[in-house]
Amino acid sequence: MRQFVNLGPLALESGSSLPEVTMAYESWGTLNESGTNAVLVLHALTGDSHVTGEASEGHPTPGWWSEMIGPGCPIDTDRFYVVSPNMLGGCQGSTGPSSLDPAGREWGSRFPRVTVRDQVEAEIALTKALGISRWQLVIGASMGGLRVLEWALMGPAAGVEVESIAPIACSPQFTGDQIAWSHPQLGAIRADANFRGGDYYNQPPGQGPHVGLGIARQIAHITYRSATELDTRFARLPQGAEEPLHGGRFAVQSYLDHHANKLAVRFDANSYIVLTEAMLTHDIGRDRGGVAAALESIKSRALVVGVDSDRLFPVGHSIDMARRIPHADECAILHSNYGHDGFLIEFDQLAPLVSNFLTSVISKVNQ
């Protein structure tokens, strides 16, 4: 069940601030008396706090990592107290552009720019509000992995111990290539006539910037899958009986339209912009002496995981991170034809990695 915590005001890196921040989260399991069994799970760009469980009120789809988290799963909720927040700037309960400001109006275009570090600051405040002073593990993939890396440095600095981290399918800074892929996504949303500069919430139902958001999702989805998977699965197959040569469509076009429509009905376009622009700010080395110095200063034990066919966060970034983080083993590589989305699909490979890592961390702590 989704729960809410009011954290009060939050100062932002931009120099602006939010006068009131609410964080939505879900939790499973029970925090032990010593407070040593807490696990923080951080979602990706269009994910949310509903990591595991059936579809329910506020969550029209089942949990996005149900095979990873739950009783008897690699992150066993019979043993661990698992918390998953909806990130700051989102649209699934935490304060974001569609939230009401103190005057009772949607923030819309007035919502301030937030960074990955701002989002972690909000998660640190939530952690303290929940009475947690130590995370056994902080784990996340994609945009969640970016926050995992910041947690490794910001958590201890704020008095929250981070025993171990698992950054999956991510990188220590957003690269020029990743910024380039993001740029047309942002442009597609802003070019939609129904976007209205970000102030579209009073339009009749169904008249928001859904076309622009859908196009943004199509662009992004191409980076989430590999060329091998798309060509093997679809190749030049037509959708239906009519050949593209005679006015029909290719099956892969229909596939992308399907994912565009799915996102447009469940996600807020302004949140997509705010969260994407937050990713653009990601650079763990900023004001820390550079990427290498920042990674080498991480004291948490680390499980670094990459996907060998990932074209959004190439596996080389993960390999380099594992080499530089002092208490990381060799980078674990998921072998997948699915690309970046391998972290959601290759459960048979990822599950034992996480399970064995947690066992190792607990054993080390108990020595």
Catalytic residue among 76, 310, 320, 341: 310
340 is known as an active-site residue:
yes
Domain edge (last residue) among 276, 303, 325 = 276
Same domain assignment for residues 315 and 245: no
Same domain assignment for residues 266 and 136: no
231 is known as an active-site residue:
no
CATH number for the domain harbouring residue 206: 1.10.1740.110
Residue 73 · residue 67 · CB < 8 Å? yes
Confidence category of residue 366, pLDDT binned at 50, 70, 90: low
Domain edge (last residue) among 227, 258, 276 = 276
Q: What is the pLDDT of residue 62?
A: 87
Residue 154 · residue 127 · CB < 8 Å? no
Catalytic residue among 99, 268, 340, 341: 340
Strands 38-42, 238-239: parallel, antiparallel or unpaired by DSSP? unpaired
Dist CA 231 CA 220 (whole Å)? 17
Q: At CA 278, angle to CA 277 and CA 281, rounded to 5?
A: 95
Dist CA 258 CA 245 (whole Å)? 22
| Dihedral of alpha carbons 48, 111, 122, 359, sign | positive
Residue 219's domain spans which residues?
Answer: 178-276
Q: Does the structure show a pLDDT above 70 at 367? A: no
DSSP category for residue 331: P
Say how many domains are in the chain.
2
Structure tokens at 215: 């196009």
Whether the model clears a pTM of 0.75, i.e. scores above it, the answer is yes
Element (H, E) at 364: helix 347-366
Instruction: Encode pLDDT of 271-303 as tens digits.
Output: 999 999 999 999 999 999 999 999 999 999 999
Domain edge (last residue) among 276, 300, 334 = 276
282 is known as an active-site residue:
no
* Mean pLDDT, rounded, of the chain: 95
Instruction: Encode pLDDT of 159-173 as tens digits.
Output: 999 999 999 999 999
Catalytic residue among 94, 142, 182, 300: 142
CATH number for the domain harbouring residue 81: 3.40.50.1820
Same domain assignment for residues 212 and 166: no
